[in-house]
A and B are shown apart, each in its own frame.
Chain A
Amino acid sequence: MIYKILFPTLLLFLAVTSCQKDFLDRQQPGELTFDKFFQTPEHAEQATNAVYNQFRSFDCVGLGYLGCTDIISDDSDKGSTPNDQPPLTDIDNFTLDPSNTYFSAVYRGYYRAIARANIAIENIPQIDMDAALRDRLVGECRFLRAYSYFLLVQWFGDLPIITRTLGADDYYAQTRQPVAEVYNQIESDLLAALAVLPEKDAYPAEDLGRVTKGAARGLLAKLYMLKKDYEKAEQYCMEVINSDKYSLLPKYADNFKQVGENGAESVFEIQAAALPTQQAAGPGASPYNMIQGVRGNPNLGWGFNRPSDNLVTAYENGDPRREATVIYVGEVLPDGVTEVKDNPEILNERFNQKAWVPAHPGLQDNGPGNIRIIRYADILLLAAEALNENGKSGEALQYLNQVRKRARGTNQIILPDVTVTDQSQLRDRIYRERRVELAMEQHRWFDLLRWGRAASVMQAVGKNFVAGKHEILPLPQTEVDLTGMPQNPNYN
């Protein structure tokens, strides 16, 4: 009797004991692990798409992004109700504390984009797949990495340059590299991307919105402008212009409507879509439209990023671009129906019309608008600026007036052609044109920094801007605490 029970039990015991090796081998059911990823062309594409995905995140294009671009500049104020989002108020007023949550938001957001790009750039080349597609995908990632560093370096100055996936031993050991090194990194990524990326029209239709040769040239031009290397800036602007892939849309305002998305004027934009969803935000959404949407009635959003009084007065008389940029109370929205009602909670309310989106499925969180990063008009004005710096004011005028002509439309009374050829006077005209043409598109702050005008301009609008300090943001306090990296000058 004993043995009848004992024997099978022992047998079972032995069986269990011998199969413990498999018993202890566990992988998460239904999940792919890293060692099985980067094996197929699909993986290469997915890893690349994941980089694009990050640019729709709240960290990358949310309150922090708008705070550290438009709100910090003279183009706009915080907006929304007075006490909503005190950290943005602090940014608007140059009370720049290293613990401000939005500095870490953008810092974190773009470094995460860099990490996604790094892992793709490291691993895609090992995949056995079509070489052209493989190179293109790596090129896309290198562009997106360069774009991330391009923003970060303008905000924070010296940066740790991370170009590989860090292992546990490297987490705390990175150091800040000089701005020039960051520029070099951006340049090498963009040149490599330029070599392999297709032109805008060379992509299959379903890939519309991926980064292109034109985008790489455009960003190179911006980089050289930043470096004050006007020769090269001119070169890459001209390459974009002469590529014949881009033109100005006849109507300025169309740029910011659905019809303008990826249109003839679009050089690079972050793609978003309001897909039907049961959640607040759908899988293709960005928070960009919601944050800047009309707050109150109609309730389109939170109402941040209010076009400033100073911006409103910066336009020449009758410039239709002002109407296309600013939503006022009482105005009928671009849908032609809805009227914006006064919201007693907000003083002097105005909203960014360029971030306005028409009705779409789901909540306001489901932001469908593409975020325009580089427009052809931007390139034309950069070309004008570079040409003028290179002493070619005649050619510069041509591109400047091209932008003004489009803005003017059929109204011949307004926005006459600029004719000044004096380098300094023309420079001022180009700067002014950049401001109004690109207002509320997150360029202004970087332009002011690049021109060395941040201190004078911001102080002139009554901001507590400290020269020699506020040109760069403080590194996030948490980052300084964790790594011991030096803080930017004059920040405690």
Chain B
Amino acid sequence: MKQIGTISKRWRSSIPLLLCLFFAQIAIAQVRISGQVLSGADGSTVIGATVKEKGASNGAITDIDGNFTIEVSDANATLVFNYTGFTQKEVALNGQTRIAVTIDEDAGLLNEIVVVGYGTQKKSDLTGAVGTVKARDIERIPSASVDQALQGKIAGVYVTPASGEPGASAFIRIRGTGTLNNSNPLFVVDGMLLDDISFVNPQDVESVEVLKDASATAIYGNRGANGVIIITTKRGTSGRSAIVSLSTYYGNQQIAKKLSLLNASEFAQMYNEYKGTNFYTDPAALGTGTDWQDVIFRDAPIANVQLGVNGVWKKLQYNLSGNYFNQSGILEKTAFDRKTGRINAEYPVAKFLKVGTSVAYSSALLKSVNGGIIGSAYRMSPVFAERDSTGDFTDPTFFGQALANPAADLFYKSDWRNRVNRLVGTFYTDITLFKDFTFRTNLGLDKWGVRLRYFEPAFEVSNSQRNPYPRTSRDTTNVRSWLWENTLTWNKEFENMTLNVLGGQSAQEYRNELRRTINDTLQPNGQEIREWAMFSFIFRTNATFFDRYLLTVSLRADGSSRFAKGNRWGYFPSVAVGWNIAQEPFMRGQKVFDRLKLRASWGIVGNDKTQEYPSQGIITDELYAVFGPNETLDSGATLINYANPDVVWESAHQTDIGLEFAMFNGRLSAEVDWYRRFTSNILADLPIPDYVGSQATPVVNSAQVRNTGWDFTLNWRETRGKVTYNFGGILSLVDNEVVKLNQAKSEILSENLGQGFVTRTVPGQPIGSFYGYQVDGIFQNTEELSQYPKFGNEKPGDFRYKDLNGDGILSDLDRGFLGSPIPTTMYGFNAGIEVFGFDLGADVFGLSGNKVMNAKAASTRFAVYNWERLFFDGRWTGEGTSNSVPRASEEGLQHNTRMSDFFIEDGSFLRLRSVVIGYSLPRHLLSGIGMSRLRFYASGTNLWTKQDYSGFSPEFPSNNPYAVGLDRLYYPMSKTILFGLNATF
């Protein structure tokens, strides 16, 4: 794959300048040297690289074939080769007059260019906290979505796969959970601002930058509070001949971990105990029965093909790509299929004018199964077969429970398909004015259609699993968003000061239309249009004094249509300073640090993500009454969902102090950041008492949350002869705490699983902490029943909960904090080595400090009718048999499934996220067949996980901050082994 040059185009403007320099200096040369510059990655020629004699001012530029000639002062001079995006290379001539030089892509440690909001900056000039992931790391994770690949890659960026479903995206939390509201970051794809990046083909991505602190995000104002993720796709590379690249992989996925449930004879034994009957006279005779997980899960293939062309044609720089991705799901009948195409191009119309575009089209189809089939398989008794002796699906309601036969659901409910066609593009024009000024107008467009179609035939398996009439439901969503931004940039170099001033304006409109029909009949309230608009002014100054003192000041003013007049405009300032200590005169002699930079930033960033009309009470119609002898409908309408006219955006005050350093000629680089993010006026729709009578919970500015933490990053990269190796790691520590709740509220209780709320948000604790009783043990005998406080109906074998408040009676006042679902520590390590054409790499990722709740067991009351093995193995069967797992008894069920720490488990895990081994054929073998690169590889994803949690996997993200860490049986994760090749022509 080509990974070169996204950045280069942005700095291409410096080439004419260097050219002038070269011609001015040519006169004093004496010895004529010629040669060719090649790229180390694929052996292609490098056009436009600069060649200079070390210590002199003469230079040359490579031509279209990578050739150059230069006159040097001495036959033993040293030549310095430079090309943007590549590491500088020095070659001593030692008398040669004809040389071939290979330059390598910049390892990214010293001269890295970083994409920031509305521009780029040298990493060394940056005052903000910005993390970067390059194409190489993104391609390593076989996934339809870019975000999955960010897991464990950037300190402070916590990525959780939404589920294991094919095509699923991920939840991203940057520097903790900042709000009780939507905590998702803002995405900027090639200049287009959006909330969903499912259309981006990961293999089109050049780099992903994560803006973490206020200095970097305040320029995005009302949308930056939860961080900003900038995705830059691959651009046409200036000065390179056309390159065709092909890459493909094919692999197999398997469920990473199955649940441990009972087999038929164990189930029968348990059922007899549970009912206190001898329903199954000979449990052992039932054997193993049906493993319903085997019925619904399978091994599934995954495949991907990418074809790209990159080059320059008559000054038009282009990058074209097409991709086909096909992932079958490990759950039967689920699959994701996507075709994407992308055109990125830029054309210099005139010296002062260039136009460019970046357009992507994506057409994706997700097939799925309707209804909670994984939950059905979990609850289904193993004594049932898929089909009965007559060949019909087995009616599973034998026990009176409304269970669904998963095999029948697979058969009847699997005609569910969601097609998403989406076009996203930006079009820009850059005009250079008076040398120092650049005006850019950027038009962005995002248009997508979602067609969800579900057909269910008429069928009847049981009273509760049936459908009397065939039904086709269609949800049609059309989204259209446009963005228009105009910025003027002034770049000026003064003596001892460089200045970069940016001012501009931005407008964006978003419209979402939904239409819902069943059998082609529009449903009640089945048509809905939602819109929002934002109008903004942008200002930023970057100044560098004496090459070492950095200052960034920014301000964004955002007007958001979400809020009522008077509450509409928000102002989001930031100030940051940096000090490149290594550039100080007193540091000049030292050899320890290549870079040493201290930086600090402060700013206010906002979040307006809430419903589109939180301040407007919208009248609900179709609330019909029936009157008259003919029983006709009389139209009814009123306000049933209350609104809050006073609502305003939430604001996050962020402080960041960072230290960056590089040592050993850039081989080691490291970064440490301390931050504090204080979010107030949090927008949330909190549970309100039922007596209010509102059907929806109105959005209020409801709370304050503080996240403090540390981000550590360390990388080592070195080439020794034929061996290049690297290793690195990240570590993030986060402390999440609710500081205050408004409206005189002392707590927010949420997530009623049938026996009251299970999470509680209170000042002094993390958001959405688990809340319930603490199990003190099991009542072993009747004496104990009279010794300890109890609810009343307990019997021996039931849980003995702690009387937390010590008042001698058990009541809801004895519930307490049972742990937090938010990890306090996140870490990742990576290592790689390249030698003799082989490359080997591995990533691990881990979390700790978080708890998860086995909500599936609590809400289905131990999964009746089947049981989890831990319940079977550990259950109390008489005095002294167990002090941790209760008896199997229907009678004790209500009591024993109260929310307690019995259902809380450790959510820590350590996962081998990816391991890759590849081999690239030597270049001399390939040149004969017109290829510059051919690499074969094998990779494994999620091959090994160390977890304590008993469920599929301990990752349970949610957009609802009170519902994080609840295992409600999501589509499980898979492990993948695949084989692939990369070829470049």
Point out residues on A near B: beta carbons under 8 Å: 1-2, 5-6, 9, 13, 16-17, 20, 23-35, 37, 43, 45-54, 81-84, 86, 90, 95, 97-99, 101, 104, 107-108, 111-116, 118-120, 159-160, 162, 165-166, 168-169, 171-174, 205-210, 262, 271-273, 275, 278-279, 283-284, 295, 299, 345, 363, 368, 476-484, 492
Give 24 pairs: A residue, B residue, CB < 8 Å, sorted on A: A2-B431, A5-B429, A6-B433, A30-B528, A34-B616, A34-B618, A50-B620, A50-B623, A50-B636, A53-B623, A81-B397, A95-B894, A98-B756, A101-B754, A108-B690, A113-B693, A116-B693, A160-B691, A262-B629, A279-B524, A283-B633, A284-B626, A477-B756, A479-B691
Determine whether the beta carbon of A28 is less than 8 Å from that of B618. Answer: yes
Kindly state whether residue B475 has any CB partner on chain A within 8 Å: no
Q: Are B638 and A119 in contact (CB under 8 A)?
A: yes
Q: Which residues of B contact A45 (CB under 8 A)?
A: 634
In Å, the complex CA distance between A210 and B518 comes to 32
Q: In the complex the two chains form, is A49's CB within 8 Å of B618's CB?
A: no
Cα–Cα distance between A111 and B691 once the two chains are bound (Å): 5
> In the complex, how many angstroms separate the beta carbon of B954 from the nearest chain A beta carbon?
27
Which of the candidate stretches B195-203, B530-538, B917-925 sits at the interface with the other chain? B530-538
**Sample of 5 more A-B contacts, CB < 8 Å, known A99-B754, A205-B628:** A16-B484, A24-B561, A50-B638, A172-B688, A284-B633
CA–CA, A99 and B561, complex, Å: 40
Q: How many of chain B's residues touch chain A, expressed as a range? A: 35 or more
- What 0/1 readout, one digit per residue, does chain B (379-412) give for beta carbons within 8 Å of chain A? 0000000000000000001011110000000000
Alpha-carbon distance A345/B399, docked complex (angstroms): 9
Contact: A53 with B625, CB < 8 Å? yes
- Shortest Cβ-Cβ A-B pairs, 4 listed: A115-B693, A34-B617, A49-B636, A83-B400
Q: Which residues of B contact A17 (CB under 8 A)?
A: 505, 535
Name the distance in Å between B11's Cβ and chain A's nearest Cβ: 23
Shortest distance from the beta carbon of A122 to any chain B beta carbon, whole Å: 11
B640 at the binding interface (Cβ < 8 Å): yes
A173 to B689 alpha-carbon distance, docked (Å): 10
Residues on B with beta carbons closer than 8 Å to the beta carbon of A114: 693
B635 contact from A33, A46, A98, A481, Cβ within 8 A: A46
Assess whether B752 is in contact with A278, with CB atoms less than 8 Å apart. Answer: no
Question: Inside 8 A of A48's CB, which chain B residues have their CB?
Answer: 636
Chain B positions within 8 Å of A169 at CB level: 743
Taken together as a complex, chains A and B put the C-alpha atoms of A480 and B752 apart, in Å, by 14
Binding-face segment, B39-47, B368-376, B694-702: B694-702
The docked-state distance in angstroms from the alpha carbon of A481 to that of B639 is: 26
Q: B646 and A168: CB pair below 8 A?
A: yes
- Knowing A24-B533, A210-B627 are in contact, say whether A478-B752 is a contact too (CB < 8 A): yes
CA distance A2 to B349 in the complex (A): 12
Chain A residues with CB under 8 Å of B700's CB are 168
A283-B524 contact, Cβ under 8 Å, with A26-B532, A482-B688: yes
Which residue among B484, B532, B534, B625 has the maximum number of chain A CB atoms within 10 Å of its CB?
Answer: B625
Q: Find the A residue at minimum CB distance from B521.
A: A278
B612 contacts A by Cβ under 8 Å: yes
Considering only CB atoms, which chain A residue lies closest to B559 in the complex? A24
The residues of B that contact A32 with a CB separation of less than 8 Å are 618-619, 621, 637
Known A-B contacts A31-B618, A168-B700, A363-B468; the reply to A112 vs B625 at CB < 8 A is no
* A284–B624 touching, CB < 8 Å: yes
Q: Whole-angstrom distance from the CB of B126 to the nearest CB of chain A?
A: 29
Of A2, A13, A166, A480, the residue contacting B352 (CB under 8 A) is A2
**Cβ A29 vs Cβ B633 within 8 A:** no
From the candidates B561, B612, B743, B893, name the one contacting A168 in the complex (CB within 8 A). B743
* Contact call B431/A24, Cβ cutoff below 8 A: no
**Residue of chain B at shortest CB distance from A31:** B618
Contacts of B688 in A (CB 8 A): 171-172, 482
Chain A residues near B429 (CB, 8 Å)? 5
Find out whether the CB atom of B749 lies under 8 angstroms from the CB atom of A478.
Answer: yes
Centre residue among B353, B620, B623 by max chain A CB count within 10 A? B623
Q: Does B793 sit at the interface, judged by CB under 8 A?
A: yes
Indicate if the CB atoms of B791 and A492 lie closer than 8 Å: yes
Given A5-B353, A29-B531, the answer on whether A16 and B638 have CB atoms closer than 8 Å is no
Task: List chain A residues, Cβ under 8 A from B812.
Answer: 98, 477, 480-481, 492
Residue on B nearest A295 in the bound complex, by CB: B463
Complex contacts, A484 vs chain B, CB 8 Å: 746
Do A479 and B622 contact each other (CB < 8 Å), given the known contacts A33-B616, A210-B627? Answer: no
Q: A34-B617, A172-B688, A206-B628 are in contact. Are A46 and B535 (CB under 8 A)?
A: no
Considering the chains assembled together, what is the distance between the CA atoms of A492 and B922 in angstroms? Answer: 76
A24 and B693 in contact, given A6-B439, A50-B638, A273-B631 (Cβ under 8 angstroms): no
Contact A23 B612 (CB under 8 A): no
Q: Nearest residue in A to B793 (C-beta to C-beta)?
A: A95
| Contact for B756 among A49, A172, A174, A481, CB less than 8 A | A481
Which B residues lie within 8 Å of A5 (CB)? Answer: 353, 429, 431
Question: How far, in whole Å, are A263 and B595 apart by their CA atoms in the complex?
Answer: 92
Contact B523 A271 (CB under 8 A): no
Q: For the complex formed, measure the closest distance between the CB of A371 and the CB atoms of chain B, giving whole angstroms.
A: 11
Q: Say yes or no: A271-B643 contact (C-beta < 8 A), given A5-B353, A168-B743.
A: no
Q: Is the CB of B687 within 8 A of A482?
A: yes
B833 at the interface (CB under 8 A from A): no
* Bound: A335/B809 CA distance, A: 56
Given known contacts A53-B625, A99-B756, A172-B743, A84 and B894 CB-to-CB distance under 8 angstroms: no
Residues in chain B near residue A97, CB distance under 8 A: 755, 894
Asked if residues B625 and A49 are in contact (CB atoms below 8 Å), the reply is: yes
Residue B507 is within 8 A (CB to CB) of chain A in the complex: yes
B881 at interface by CB-CB < 8 Å:
no
Residues 5-49 of B contacting A (Cβ, < 8 Å): none
Nearest B residue (CB) for A210: B627
Which of A24, A49, A210 has a CB less than 8 Å from the CB of B568? A24
Q: Which of B397, B637, B755, B791 has the most CB of A within 10 A?
A: B637
Smallest distance from the beta carbon of A330 to chain B beta carbons, Å? 20
In the assembled complex, B757 has its CB within 8 A of some CB on chain A = yes
Cα of A345 to Cα of B398 in the assembled complex, Å: 8
Chain B positions within 8 Å of A162 at CB level: 691-693
A49 to B469 Cα, complex, angstroms: 31
B632 within 8 A of A: yes
Contact between B535 and A24, CB atoms less than 8 A apart: yes
Contacts of B781 in A (CB 8 A): none
- B350 interface residue, CB < 8 Å from A? yes
CB distance from B81 to the nearest CB of A (A): 36
* Partner pick for A49 among B534, B624, B629, B747, CB 8 A cutoff: B624
For the complex, what is the distance from the CA of A172 to the CA of B616, rounded to whole Å?
21
A35, A104, A478, A484 pick with most chain B CB within 10 angstroms: A478
Tell me if B755 and A99 are in contact (CB < 8 A). yes
Contact with A81, one of B400, B523, B893 (Cβ below 8 angstroms): B400
CA distance A345 to B639 in the complex (A): 44
> Is B633 in contact with A30, judged by CB distance below 8 angstroms?
no
A144 to chain B, nearest CB (A): 11
Q: How far is the CB of B845 from chain A (nearest CB, A)?
A: 37
A84 touches B757 (CB 8 A): no
| Chain A residue at minimum C-beta to C-beta distance from B810 | A492
Bound: A53/B636 CA distance, A: 7
Chain B residues closer than 8 Å to A168, beta-carbon distance: 644, 646, 698, 700, 743
A208 to B531, CA, bound (A): 42
Tell me the B282-316 residues at the A interface (CB within 8 Å).
Answer: none
A272–B626 CB distance below 8 A: yes
Check: B959 CB closer than 8 A to any chain A CB: no
CA distance A194 to B698 in the complex (A): 35
Q: Compute how far the CA of A299 lies from the CA of B466 in the bound complex, rounded to whole angstroms.
A: 12
Q: Considering the chains assembled together, what is the distance between the CA atoms of A283 and B634 in angstroms?
A: 10
- Interface positions, chain B 307-358, Cβ under 8 Å from A, are 350, 352-353
B860 to chain A, nearest CB (A): 12
B397 & A104 in contact (Cβ 8 Å cutoff): no
Nearest CB of chain B from residue A292's CB, rounded to whole Å: 15
Could you tell me if B637 and A50 are in contact, using CB atoms closer than 8 angstroms?
yes
Chain B residue at minimal CB-CB distance from A258 = B631
Residues of B within 8 A of A46 (CB): 621, 623, 635-638
